[in-house]
Amino acid sequence: MQEKIDMKAVVNGLDKTEKGAEKVVKRTVGDMKSRAPGWVSKAVREEYSIAAKDVKAALNTESNGKMSIAGTEVDSAALVYKGRVLTPTHFKMKPASRPASGKPYQVTAEVKKGQRKTLSSQAFLSHAGGADSKEIPFQRRGASRLPIDAIKTLSVPQMIESKEGIKPKIEKAIEEGLKKRFEHHCEQLLNK
């Protein structure tokens, strides 16, 4: 006895599976776009004394840099980081403003967690813009009063790319997170 195969049903089943797989991939990439900044921020903040809002601002805003997703498939998706070099004000800088007493002071910052360091013996605080702007550290180039340069640290992309342990942590967090999201979306597809 030979069974009849309903080819139309097989083709429809394959078509549904293909569309479902495409949906799973699109949803996983969407999850990467919305969740990866949190995973990146957490890994960066484990090593550096930077606020989550500063990491997020560097990844999402036009003026500070941006994050974009490239690719339409999970295995070809890439996070692209662009950002400016940050001032020590983002790294628990002390003092936050010039002491009113006029006493000598040293400007320190904690770029790496637990490692507070003096920026420079010549560093001083001044307003970057008008009188209402935040005070940032500056340093004179030579013995004369001018020119002066703002003291800078590193950018969020530099923190992410550091091979001292952050980049592998981020890659692991993204890999584990995407695997969970992919499995979740596959289960949703199969339970329909």
Domain assignments of the chain as residue spans, ordered by start: 7-84+155-190, 87-153
Most confident of 2-11, 73-82, 106-115, 181-190: 106-115
Q: How far is CA 191 from CA 62, 183, 186, in A?
A: 41, 12, 9
Q: Does the pLDDT at position 62 exceed 50? A: no
| Tens-digit pLDDT profile for residues 92-134 | 999 999 988 888 999 999 999 999 999 988 899 998 887 788 8
Tens digit of each residue's pLDDT (9 = 90 or more) over 134-146: 899 999 998 898 8
3-state helix, strand, coil in the chain (%, to 5): 45, 20, 35
- Residues paired with 124 in a beta bridge: 138
Is the four-CA dihedral 146, 149, 150, 153 of positive or negative sign?
Answer: negative
Specify the pTM. 0.71
Most confident of 21-35, 52-66, 172-186: 172-186
State how far Cα 4 lies from the chain centre: 57
